[in-house]
A = this chain, B = another copy of it.
Amino acid sequence: MQETEIIWSETEQKIAHEAFLKAYQRETTSLIHQIRVLASEIVELDHVWNLHDFLSARRHQIDGKYDYLNPARQGRDLDQYSALIFVFSQLVKEGWLHLDDLEGLDQDKLAKIAALTRM
Protein backbone atom coordinates (compact mmCIF):
# COMPACT_ATOMS: atom_id res chain seq x y z
CA MET A 1 0.00 0.00 0.00
CA GLN A 2 1.29 3.48 -0.86
CA GLU A 3 2.07 5.92 1.89
CA THR A 4 -0.45 8.43 0.52
CA GLU A 5 -3.27 5.97 1.25
CA ILE A 6 -2.22 5.64 4.86
CA ILE A 7 -1.47 9.25 5.69
CA TRP A 8 -4.45 11.57 5.81
CA SER A 9 -3.62 15.21 6.57
CA GLU A 10 -5.89 17.20 8.84
CA THR A 11 -7.42 18.90 5.78
CA GLU A 12 -8.03 15.51 4.19
CA GLN A 13 -9.61 14.20 7.37
CA LYS A 14 -11.95 17.20 7.35
CA ILE A 15 -12.85 16.63 3.69
CA ALA A 16 -13.42 12.93 4.39
CA HIS A 17 -15.65 13.72 7.34
CA GLU A 18 -17.74 16.19 5.35
CA ALA A 19 -18.02 13.79 2.42
CA PHE A 20 -19.24 11.08 4.79
CA LEU A 21 -21.83 13.42 6.24
CA LYS A 22 -23.09 14.29 2.75
CA ALA A 23 -23.34 10.64 1.70
CA TYR A 24 -24.99 9.73 4.98
CA GLN A 25 -27.53 12.51 4.59
CA ARG A 26 -28.33 11.50 1.01
CA GLU A 27 -28.60 7.79 1.75
CA THR A 28 -30.66 8.39 4.89
CA THR A 29 -33.08 10.70 3.09
CA SER A 30 -33.52 8.14 0.33
CA LEU A 31 -33.99 5.30 2.84
CA ILE A 32 -36.65 7.20 4.76
CA HIS A 33 -38.50 7.90 1.51
CA GLN A 34 -38.23 4.21 0.53
CA ILE A 35 -39.61 3.09 3.90
CA ARG A 36 -42.58 5.42 3.62
CA VAL A 37 -43.38 4.01 0.17
CA LEU A 38 -42.98 0.40 1.39
CA ALA A 39 -45.11 1.12 4.46
CA SER A 40 -47.86 2.68 2.37
CA GLU A 41 -47.96 -0.44 0.18
CA ILE A 42 -48.35 -2.93 3.04
CA VAL A 43 -51.62 -4.83 2.84
CA GLU A 44 -50.77 -8.08 4.58
CA LEU A 45 -48.49 -9.39 7.31
CA ASP A 46 -45.99 -10.86 4.85
CA HIS A 47 -45.29 -7.36 3.57
CA VAL A 48 -44.60 -6.27 7.16
CA TRP A 49 -41.98 -8.99 7.53
CA ASN A 50 -40.54 -8.09 4.12
CA LEU A 51 -40.09 -4.57 5.45
CA HIS A 52 -38.48 -6.02 8.57
CA ASP A 53 -36.04 -8.10 6.49
CA PHE A 54 -35.26 -5.07 4.35
CA LEU A 55 -34.51 -2.96 7.44
CA SER A 56 -32.33 -5.71 8.96
CA ALA A 57 -30.20 -5.79 5.82
CA ARG A 58 -30.01 -2.00 5.47
CA ARG A 59 -29.09 -1.56 9.13
CA HIS A 60 -26.22 -3.98 8.79
CA GLN A 61 -24.94 -2.28 5.61
CA ILE A 62 -25.32 1.28 6.89
CA ASP A 63 -23.74 0.54 10.28
CA GLY A 64 -20.71 -0.88 8.49
CA LYS A 65 -20.41 1.80 5.84
CA TYR A 66 -20.69 4.80 8.15
CA ASP A 67 -18.67 3.36 11.00
CA TYR A 68 -16.21 6.24 10.45
CA LEU A 69 -18.89 8.63 11.75
CA ASN A 70 -19.43 6.55 14.88
CA PRO A 71 -18.45 8.79 17.83
CA ALA A 72 -17.40 5.69 19.79
CA ARG A 73 -14.55 5.23 17.28
CA GLN A 74 -12.40 8.15 18.36
CA GLY A 75 -8.92 6.73 18.12
CA ARG A 76 -8.70 5.69 14.48
CA ASP A 77 -5.91 3.40 13.44
CA LEU A 78 -4.11 3.34 10.12
CA ASP A 79 -6.13 0.38 8.86
CA GLN A 80 -9.29 2.36 9.27
CA TYR A 81 -7.96 5.28 7.25
CA SER A 82 -6.64 3.10 4.46
CA ALA A 83 -10.08 1.46 4.30
CA LEU A 84 -11.63 4.86 3.52
CA ILE A 85 -10.46 4.58 -0.08
CA PHE A 86 -12.67 1.50 -0.51
CA VAL A 87 -15.62 2.91 1.39
CA PHE A 88 -15.56 6.11 -0.68
CA SER A 89 -15.39 4.18 -3.95
CA GLN A 90 -18.40 2.13 -2.75
CA LEU A 91 -20.32 5.31 -1.89
CA VAL A 92 -19.52 6.79 -5.31
CA LYS A 93 -20.62 3.59 -7.05
CA GLU A 94 -23.87 3.57 -5.12
CA GLY A 95 -24.50 7.19 -6.05
CA TRP A 96 -24.39 8.65 -2.52
CA LEU A 97 -21.17 10.52 -3.22
CA HIS A 98 -19.73 12.27 -6.26
CA LEU A 99 -16.02 12.47 -6.93
CA ASP A 100 -16.44 16.27 -6.69
CA ASP A 101 -17.36 15.86 -3.04
CA LEU A 102 -13.85 14.52 -2.43
CA GLU A 103 -12.03 17.41 -4.08
CA GLY A 104 -9.05 18.47 -2.01
CA LEU A 105 -7.89 14.94 -1.26
CA ASP A 106 -4.42 13.97 -2.43
CA GLN A 107 -4.37 13.14 -6.19
CA ASP A 108 -3.20 9.54 -5.55
CA LYS A 109 -6.16 8.89 -3.30
CA LEU A 110 -8.61 10.43 -5.78
CA ALA A 111 -7.13 8.40 -8.65
CA LYS A 112 -7.42 5.19 -6.66
CA ILE A 113 -11.00 5.91 -5.62
CA ALA A 114 -11.92 6.73 -9.23
CA ALA A 115 -10.26 3.54 -10.46
CA LEU A 116 -12.08 1.41 -7.89
CA THR A 117 -15.46 2.86 -8.89
CA ARG A 118 -14.89 1.45 -12.38
CA MET A 119 -14.28 -2.09 -11.13
Interface residues of A (CB under 8 A from B): 28, 31-32, 35-36, 38-40, 42-45, 48-49, 51-52, 55-56, 58-59, 62
Contacts and interface: CB of A to CB of B under 8 A. Distances in A.
Report the copy number of this chain in the oligomer.
2
B45 A28 contact: yes
Contacts of A35: 39, 42, 48, 51
Given A51-B55, A52-B56, A62 B42 contact: no
Given A49-B55, A55-B55, A56-B56, 17 more contacts: A28-B45, A31-B45, A31-B48, A32-B42, A32-B43, A32-B44, A35-B51, A36-B39, A36-B42, A38-B39, A48-B55, A48-B59, A49-B59, A51-B55, A52-B55, A52-B56, A52-B59
Contacts of A45: 28, 31-32, 62
Contacts of A59: 48-49, 52
Nearest to A47: B32
A101 B36 CA distance: 35
Nearest to A62: B45
- Pick the 7 closest A-B CB pairs, nearest first: A39-B39, A52-B55, A28-B45, A36-B39, A32-B42, A35-B39, A52-B59
